[in-house]
Amino acid sequence: MPNAQDQQQTGPSDPAAQTQASPRGKAPAEAGAVVISIDAMGGDLGPEATLGGVAIAARETPALRFIVHGPEGVLSPLIAKLSLGDCVDLRHADRAVTMEDKPAQVMRSGKDTSMWSAIESVRDHEADVAVSCGNTGALMAISMIRLRKLKGVNRPAIASFWPSRSPAGWNVMLDMGADVKADAPDLLTYALMGTSYARNALGLTRPRVGLLNVGTEEHKGRAELKEAFEMMTRAQEAGGFEFVGFVEGNHLPADRADVIVTDGFTGNIALKTGEGTAKFVSELLREALTSSLLAKLGALLAMGALKRLRAKVDPRRANGGVFLGLNGTVVKSHGSADATGFAAAISLAARLAQSGFGAKLAARVALALPEGQDGAIQDAPASAESETSQ
């Protein structure tokens, strides 16, 4: 079970924090609107891509409001050019975290970065959710020290979508690399957080949860996996998920589990292996279809179908790893995201904010706390019941 000493709660469900006046000014929105904090810097394609994404998202959902963080001299002209003045509040931050910066450095001396400032807006309850396409390690480190871990969570996790044969078209996988280790109670927490995420992001009432292993037989794998297998079997009823047992690597894109749970080391390797394999096969296909005149003609005729296929596996459609287990929601967009990709990450962030995801996740995780440790556990089933929109 997670250790109570590790936990602090200063988030949206903490009444003391809610009544504090924000030290950084008012949010730029009318009451009730969703406010999204944007780290405009740190991506491979610069603020043109992030603000381009804001412009797309603002066009699609005019009610959204944004707090955009970065150097004023760079961002102001872009905001004017994209006519975003009405929905964007600019917060000046001198520096950007680079992809080479080490998380420990950024934690010590990163207060003047756009990333830090973007997380601060969530901490101060000015914004409902933050989006960044910067350095993942630094973003997780800043999020951990500023937002703090949720009560009951020992190791936060990053959850991503995986294109799949499941009815929703996607599976959720976590942890994708927040931590290189996870013990059995961590894996159970991941199952609960993944369940909550699948309910709110994919609309699944009772997601199927699978535990990633080297075989589906119960006797296989490492000791912590056998222990987690027992814990998940016991927790599935109260946790609102169906435990389908061990799953293997080939089940990641299959219609077997909606939520796939693993440690962050394995999850990161699997994610990149899947991406690398898809890229490799796509490149070979492209080469094959340009290898002869006949093949080129065939490709021309099949172009409509091939384009639809491409759209189906377009990674930009599912852009956004979500940090789970903190007092506040943070969406990590891919570092190489263009405006379309960044807009997809904003859209995911907005959907989560609108559904009140943060409070629902907290209630679900509380289900795993030992009885009596926390008063919230009595309320948890009720709020968990209302978690899905279905």
277: contact with a second copy by CB under 8 A: yes
254: contact with a second copy by CB under 8 A: yes
For 19-49, give one letter per residue: b (16+ CB within 10 A) or e.
eeeeeeeebbbeeeebbbbbbbbbbebbbbb
311: contact with a second copy by CB under 8 A: no
Q: In Å, how far are 122, 234, 239, 304, 368 from 151, measured between CA atoms?
A: 18, 21, 16, 50, 11
Cβ distance to a second copy smaller for residue 20 or 98 = 98
- Dist CA 195 CA 204 (whole Å): 9
- Determine the distance from the C-alpha atom of residue 244 to the mean position of all C-alpha atoms in its chain, rounded to a whole number: 23
Among candidates 320, 330, 326, 351, which has minimal Cα distance to 37? 330
Q: Are strands 157-163 and 321-324 parallel, antiparallel or unpaired?
A: antiparallel
Could you tell me how many residues of this chain bind a second copy (CB under 8 A)? 61
Q: x-or-dash pattern for a second copy, window 33-72, by CB under 8 A?
A: ----------------------------------------
Question: What is the closest distance, in whole angstroms, from the C-beta atom of residue 20 to a second copy in the complex?
Answer: 37
Tell me the window of 109-117, 141-149, 285-293, 316-324 that interacts with a second copy (CB under 8 A): 285-293
274: contact with a second copy by CB under 8 A: yes
Question: What is the closest distance, in whole angstroms, from the C-beta atom of residue 136 to a second copy in the complex?
Answer: 9
272: contact with a second copy by CB under 8 A: yes
Reduce the DSSP state of residue 38 to 3 states and report it: strand
305: contact with a second copy by CB under 8 A: yes
> Residues 279, 370, 385, 389: which binds a second copy (CB under 8 A)?
279
Cβ distance to a second copy smaller for residue 26 or 308 = 308
> Residues 297, 370, 378, 385: which binds a second copy (CB under 8 A)?
297
301: contact with a second copy by CB under 8 A: yes
- Dist CA 66 CA 112 (whole Å): 19
- Determine the distance from the C-alpha atom of residue 69 to the mean position of all C-alpha atoms in its chain, rounded to a whole number: 20
Q: In Å, how far are 22, 23, 111, 124, 125 from 17, measured between CA atoms?
A: 10, 12, 21, 8, 9
109: contact with a second copy by CB under 8 A: no
Cβ distance to a second copy smaller for residue 4 or 303 = 303
Q: What amino acid is encoded at 187 in this protein?
A: L
336 CB-near residues (< 8 Å, 6+ apart): 43, 44, 45
> Residues 3, 219, 372, 375: which binds a second copy (CB under 8 A)?
219
382: contact with a second copy by CB under 8 A: no
Cβ distance to a second copy smaller for residue 91 or 256 = 256
Question: What is the closest distance, in whole angstroms, from the C-beta atom of residue 41 to a second copy in the complex?
Answer: 21
Cβ distance to a second copy smaller for residue 94 or 275 = 275
382, two tokens: 């009720």
Instruction: Please answer whether residues 182 and 347 qualify as being in contact, where contact means their C-beta atoms are separated by less than 8 angstroms.
Output: no
335: contact with a second copy by CB under 8 A: no
Question: What is the closest distance, in whole angstroms, from the C-beta atom of residue 97 to a second copy in the complex?
Answer: 15
Reduce the DSSP state of residue 308 to 3 states and report it: helix
143: contact with a second copy by CB under 8 A: no
Angle, alpha carbons 113-117-122 (nearest 5°)? 150
Question: What is the closest distance, in whole angstroms, from the C-beta atom of residue 268 to a second copy in the complex?
Answer: 4
Among candidates 115, 129, 127, which has minimal Cα distance to 28? 127
Residues in touch with a second copy (CB under 8 A): 102, 163-165, 177, 180-181, 212, 214, 219, 221-222, 248-254, 262, 264-266, 268-282, 284-285, 287-289, 291-292, 294-295, 297-306, 308-309, 312-313
